[in-house]
Structure 1
Amino acid sequence: MQEALSILQKYWKHDSFRTPQAEIIASVLEGKDTFALMPTGGGKSICFQIPALMNDGICLVVSPLIALMKDQVANLQKINIKAIAMTGGISSDEISDLLDNCQFGNYKFLYLSPERLQSDWILDRIKALPINLIAIDEAHCVSQWGHDFRPAYLKIASLKEHFPKIPFLALTATATERVKEDVAKQLNLQNPAVFQKSFARENLAYMVFNVEDKLFRLEQILKKNPQPSIIYVRNRKACIDVSSQLNSLGIKATFYHGGLHIKEKDKNMKLWMNEEVQAMVSTNAFGMGIDKANVKTVIHIQLPENLENYYQEAGRAGRNGEKAFAVLLNSPSDVQSSESQILNNLPDNKSLKEMYVKLCNFFQIAYGEGINEQFSFNINQFCVQYNFPILKTFNALQFLDRQGIITLSQEFSEKVTVQFVIESKEVIRYTSLNPQDEEIVLAMLRTYSGIYEISTPVNISLIAKKAKCQENQVVAVLNKLQERQVIDYHAKNNDSTITFNEVREDDRTINRVSKYLENQNDLKNKQLQSVLDYVVDDKSCKSKQLLRYFGEKEGANCGICSYCIKQNKTEAKVSSVAAKIIDLLKTSPMSSREIQMYSKFPDDAIIFAIQQLLEINKIEVLPNNKYTLK
């Protein structure tokens, strides 16, 4: 292993391997099929990059994550290692040239998506390459029981027939026992050596708090721990809203989501990486490939879809080994809202078929035609035309993308961006002087939160529908507002692209994948239930609950999670809490929040003591909901 260590030192400037990197590399170098289950941040890429550099030939890396592929290729090129990524939007001629480079150009890594393997001519060209290792990243995608199943991954097993002596290395960060077994079976791994790093994070305190006022608790946590933080939310609007609220409270924050322009993404990322702001408020678009070791807190203010994603996102805290916090804030309405947002927006076979037929009609694709045709696509425009719910439609499109029926570009961006550049009172003055424009202006203001703060993507069709006018009237008003310097308005032509990978066959197309849809919907139901169980279970250690979910044997309680801390603390006596409340109320009337802030006692102890004091008429409630002595 001395040569492997020398390569690690030369290119990555590390003096030693993390457990179990060295063991995985040794297994691959011995020519064994290998399965590596390593939590996020464990250094999976090193496990295939180093053995590939030690042998002649090229390493084939299969991954569904386009952004991560580009990132890894760029990082390899920076250290003068030749690598290529075969991503979407590349013509057949360009692909052929790339494969020529791989065959004759002494390249060491070829990254490609599993969908590329479905093209027979590409597969034939790959068979001719001097492959020394086949690495399958995000290997859970090959299992129907994995949280992001992609049938295209099933094609990887065919490579085993052509490269029987070449080792396969399957890598994933999250997999239950059932998924692990299925991955080995579906990839046709031969007596694989299995390496699993424990999911336990001894320095990470998993905290679940039931709160009424999430913003108040968020403020408390971030002011108590002023180091770099990530706050995960479920949608783009919440990114802007929460970031704005934190800034108003004196906590420097920025935000990140898939719809931002690349320049704004880079700008916000640098602000956070350079610690010019404390908090990054983000959807799950943020985090993949992010390497910041000193993140102190990762906070979820809405319930995640599954524990796999939660574990990965929470695991971005405390990678420097110091104590860190993974906090999940739960309120009484969260369970119901999660079920409606997640489960009610899952497409069934009927809605999937209807959406697919309308999609083909939208682009005027005739039955039996459409293969390899590519179109510019605006999901909002499509949904407005057919009166489809956006989130359910997006989930249906993602499902068709994972099945390989279509290829959908990863980011949606509107044709138009708008930002109001004058104060709100001046906008009101403008509408009073120009009443004919009022409905369109109000429709924008009501629809797009944050339109005063940042340049905001705007959907012309949606605004026209809400203002009950024609699209050309909306455009005319936007031009007028721009001329009068009321808004900053940009028309863009960078819609998403959608590529049809098969001929249109309606029923046959959808019926073929319907069983996968049913399995995935059933899985999502079970995964959400696991999240709800995790949130409500206050009878056991949070770390042990996660270990149990991933099939790992449980050890001792972690001692630092919300359950363990509550167990370890002596319950505050009601009499001492009541005495403290009376002392505080001698100074002035206070709300329950103020009492909690000044007393430092737990919420439940304060609530119980207040109830006792009310019952014995020691205190009373004022009309402003503050408590005072009687």
Structure 2
Amino acid sequence: MPEAVALLQKYWKHDKFRSLQKEIITSVLGGHDTFAVMPTGGGKSVCFQIPALMKDGICLVISPLVALMKDQVANLQKRNIKAIALTGGIRSEEMIDLLDNCQFGNYKFLYVSPERLQSDWILERIKNLPINLITIDEAHCVSQWGHDFRPAYLKISELKKHFPTIPFLALTATATPSVKIDIITELGLHEPHVFEKSFARENIAYMVFEVEDKLFRIEQILKKNPQPSIIYVRNRKSCLEISSQLNSLGFNATYYHGGLSSKEKDKNMEAWMDEKVQVIVATNAFGMGIDKANVKTVIHIQLPENMENYYQEAGRAGRNGERAFALLLTNPSDITQAENQFIKILPDKKFLNLMYVKLNNYFQIAYGEGINEKFNFNLHRFCLKYEFPTLKTYNALQFLDRQGIITLSQEFSEKITLQFLIPSKEVMRYMSLNHNDEEIILAILRTYPGIYEMQTAFNLQLISKKSSHKESEILAVLHKLKEKEIIDYHSKNNDATILFNEVREDERTISRVSKHLENQNQLKKEQLKAVVNYVSEKSICKSRLILNYFGEETSVDCGICSFCITKKIKKKDTKLLSKEIIKLLDEDDLNSRDIQNKTRSSPDDVIFVLQELLENEIILVKPNNKYTLKS
């Protein structure tokens, strides 16, 4: 394969292929349908980009991730390779021009979402292109048992009718055994050559620690490992809070989440990539196309939604092959919080049906009508009107979108953001002098406690309800506060749009798709159960647990995870430790960290003995989390 290696050297500056890349490229060049499971960081994109460059024509890449499509197109363009992505928000006239470029402009790559292929006129144009390879990225989306099922993927197999001699290449980073079978079946792959890279990452030590004070443990980890680190958190507010706390402790930290502007994202990302900061605190919006080889630690401080996501995020550590750490810090309340975040917000059939009926009523669509009608839509206003929980409603709308019943534009950021610029003491002084504004300002401060530290998304309807003032009155106060430079205030007109793709049939519509909903809800529950098992299981190697989840059986322990390390450490005599703790508590009340330091014991040993002493009613926990002897 001298030509393939020459292209690798010319465009990617590498002299040799990584594991399985050469075999996959050979299979594709031989005209075979090919299916590859390559864990994150394995170099999946090269597997279709090299063979596409070696053949005449254009490679069609089907991907559900707009950010990844844009990232790959930008990277190809940087290498002077002609590539186009048909992403959302492109007008029909512009789309026609782009497709003309593909047909007549010697382009090598066309990226589309699976939903785009459902437009008949786009499909007709693609059928007339000189397609040399059809690549299905994130192929697990075709499976109802995958962690991101998208019904539009089920229609990809129809391309086989139009391109019977063109090879399909299906790629995914994570797939359980049942998902692998689904991918081959649903995509209609013909006698595919299957390549699977082991999910084992022998240089990553998977660590799970139950801790009371997560920030203190993070501080210990980062001091011990001063190399580049990622800390994954659950929401945008935590990004700012944790990065601020780390900066105050003397670490250089920045943050990244979906609510930042492109300029802020690029600036913060660059600071971390160039190692001007050690730590980037991020939501799961961070990671698309990130390939930093020397990440030493990836820390999760809340439970992930599923093992697929956790494996991908943890796998951003140690891509240079050196020892790295994937740490998950937990405490007993995390499981309840994860259930609240991931399970309790799932819409059931009853809620989906009610929400769909109200949605049609909201836009005054009569039964049997509404097809192809488009409306501006404000999610928060809709939820307020019908007293629906926002996240559950959003999930229900997303489900209808994925089933093709509606098309939902993804523009759900708040219309207003604001931040207080003066200290709280000065705000109180202002309220004492301006009694008419007091109720509105108090409602804002009580609803958004972090509004002094950061630009905060602001729900006008919610504050109207809480303060018992009209929206116009609240806006007048906000304008006044901005003029006096008390707040920084931004307003955007960015309502979403909803396109109804079917006539309104209420329960008939929902009954048709409810089985998919039940399957998805059950899957999410099972996935979270697997995460809880990973965290709670104390008698199996953590690396083996991950491999078993993805269908790789092994009886060999990794030797470096938290379970394996604990096995190696000689356990302290619990009776002696118990006596030592009782003696210390006889002198003073102490928290677990103080006890750990004074006894020079491991956190696990200390927690075990403290639990025993609590159960035997020898000690008590005070409201300030300090332990004391029971009198």
Q: What range describes the TM-score normalised by the shorter chain of this pair?
A: over 0.9
Partners in 2 of 1:411 and 1:601 — Cα distance?
A: 51
- Give the deviation of 1:91 after TM superposition: 2.5
2:207 maps to which residue?
Answer: 207
Q: Which moved more, 1:433-442 or 1:602-611?
A: 602-611
Q: How does 1:303-322 map to 2 (within 5 A)?
A: 303-322=303-322
Answer whether contact 2:9 2:15 (CA < 8 A) is retained: yes
Answer whether contact 1:34 1:168 (CA < 8 A) is retained: yes
Partners in 1 of 2:614 and 2:187 — Cα distance?
A: 66
Paired residue type of 1:314? A
Paired residue type of 1:230? I
1:524 maps to which residue?
Answer: 524
SS in structure 2 at match of 1:74: helix
Structure 2 vs 1, CA of residues 617 and 177 (structure 1 numbering), >3 Å: closer, same or farther? closer
Paired residue type of 1:496? A
1:462 maps to which residue?
Answer: 462
- Give the deviation of 1:81 after TM superposition: 0.7
Answer whether contact 1:591 1:627 (CA < 8 A) is retained: no
Q: How does 1:586-625 map to 2 (within 5 A)?
A: 590-607=590-607, 625=626
Partners in 1 of 2:416 and 2:250 — Cα distance?
A: 32
Q: 1:50-92 CA distances to partner (integer Å, 9 max, x unpaired)?
A: 1000000010000110111111111111111111111112222
Aligned-residue CA RMSD (Å): 2.7
1:70 maps to which residue?
Answer: 70
- Give the deviation of 1:372 after TM superposition: 4.5
- Give the deviation of 1:11 after TM superposition: 0.5
1:161 maps to which residue?
Answer: 161
Answer whether contact 2:85 2:110 (CA < 8 A) is retained: yes
Q: How does 1:548-559 map to 2 (within 5 A)?
A: 548-559=548-559
1:29 maps to which residue?
Answer: 29
Q: How does 1:417-496 map to 2 (within 5 A)?
A: 417-496=417-496
Partners in 2 of 1:618 and 1:362 — Cα distance?
A: 61
- Give the deviation of 1:367 after TM superposition: 4.2
Answer whether contact 2:619 2:627 (CA < 8 A) is retained: no
SS in structure 2 at match of 1:329: strand
Answer whether contact 1:374 1:499 (CA < 8 A) is retained: yes
Partners in 2 of 1:593 and 1:326 — Cα distance?
A: 23
Answer whether contact 1:174 1:308 (CA < 8 A) is retained: yes
Partners in 2 of 1:91 and 1:502 — Cα distance?
A: 22
Answer whether contact 1:118 1:152 (CA < 8 A) is retained: yes
Q: 1:458-509 CA distances to partner (integer Å, 9 max, x unpaired)?
A: 1111111111211111101101111111101121123334443444443343
Q: How does 1:121-270 map to 2 (within 5 A)?
A: 121-270=121-270
- Give the deviation of 1:520 after TM superposition: 0.6
Partners in 2 of 1:271 and 1:378 — Cα distance?
A: 35
1:81 maps to which residue?
Answer: 81
Partners in 2 of 1:622 and 1:83 — Cα distance?
A: 63
Partners in 1 of 2:174 and 2:617 — Cα distance?
A: 55
Answer whether contact 2:55 2:132 (CA < 8 A) is retained: yes
- Give the deviation of 1:98 after TM superposition: 1.7
Q: 1:331-381 CA distances to partner (integer Å, 9 max, x unpaired)?
A: 112222222322111111121122223233334444445444444433222
Structure 2 vs 1, CA of residues 364 and 15 (structure 1 numbering), >3 Å: closer, same or farther? farther
Paired residue type of 2:235? N
Partners in 2 of 1:469 and 1:37 — Cα distance?
A: 56
> Is 1:6 equivalent to 2:6 in the alignment?
yes
SS in structure 1 at match of 2:452: coil
Answer whether contact 2:37 2:171 (CA < 8 A) is retained: yes
Answer whether contact 2:33 2:169 (CA < 8 A) is retained: yes
1:408 maps to which residue?
Answer: 408
Partners in 2 of 1:379 and 1:302 — Cα distance?
A: 27
Q: 1:302-348 CA distances to partner (integer Å, 9 max, x unpaired)?
A: 11111111111111111111111111122112222222322111111
Q: TM-score, normalised by structure 1?
A: 0.93
Partners in 2 of 1:318 and 1:279 — Cα distance?
A: 15
Partners in 1 of 2:182 and 2:277 — Cα distance?
A: 43
Q: Which moved more, 1:398-407 or 1:143-152?
A: 398-407
1:336 maps to which residue?
Answer: 336
Partners in 2 of 1:314 and 1:598 — Cα distance?
A: 33
Paired residue type of 2:76? L
Partners in 1 of 2:263 and 2:444 — Cα distance?
A: 24
SS in structure 2 at match of 1:286: coil
Partners in 1 of 2:620 and 2:263 — Cα distance?
A: 56
> Is 1:568 equivalent to 2:571 in the alignment?
no
Structure 2 vs 1, CA of residues 598 and 272 (structure 1 numbering), >3 Å: closer, same or farther? farther
The alignment covers a number of residue pairs equal to 629
- Quote the sequence identity (%): 69
Q: Which moved more, 1:613-622 or 1:396-405?
A: 613-622
Q: Which moved more, 1:425-434 or 1:244-253?
A: 244-253
Paired residue type of 2:483? E
Answer whether contact 1:259 1:411 (CA < 8 A) is retained: no
1:53 maps to which residue?
Answer: 53
- Give the deviation of 1:555 after TM superposition: 4.4
2:506 maps to which residue?
Answer: 506
- Give the deviation of 1:281 after TM superposition: 2.0
- Give the deviation of 1:529 after TM superposition: 1.1
- Give the deviation of 1:292 after TM superposition: 1.5
Partners in 1 of 2:611 and 2:507 — Cα distance?
A: 62
Q: How does 1:285-300 map to 2 (within 5 A)?
A: 285-300=285-300
Q: How does 1:569-584 map to 2 (within 5 A)?
A: 569-574=569-574, 577=577
Partners in 2 of 1:273 and 1:109 — Cα distance?
A: 28
- Gaps (5+ residues) in structure 1? none
Structure 2 vs 1, CA of residues 436 and 617 (structure 1 numbering), >3 Å: closer, same or farther? closer
Q: Which moved more, 1:489-498 or 1:601-610?
A: 601-610
Paired residue type of 1:242? I
Answer whether contact 2:585 2:627 (CA < 8 A) is retained: no
Answer whether contact 1:243 1:281 (CA < 8 A) is retained: yes
Partners in 2 of 1:466 and 1:102 — Cα distance?
A: 54
Partners in 2 of 1:309 and 1:255 — Cα distance?
A: 19
Partners in 2 of 1:68 and 1:616 — Cα distance?
A: 55
SS in structure 1 at match of 2:450: coil
Partners in 2 of 1:216 and 1:567 — Cα distance?
A: 24
SS in structure 2 at match of 1:205: strand
SS in structure 2 at match of 1:490: strand
Structure 2 vs 1, CA of residues 595 and 395 (structure 1 numbering), >3 Å: closer, same or farther? same
Answer whether contact 2:411 2:494 (CA < 8 A) is retained: no
Q: Which moved more, 1:87-96 or 1:30-39?
A: 87-96
Q: 1:271-304 CA distances to partner (integer Å, 9 max, x unpaired)?
A: 3223233222222111111121222211121111
SS in structure 1 at match of 2:451: coil
Answer whether contact 1:62 1:111 (CA < 8 A) is retained: yes
Q: TM-score, normalised by structure 2?
A: 0.93
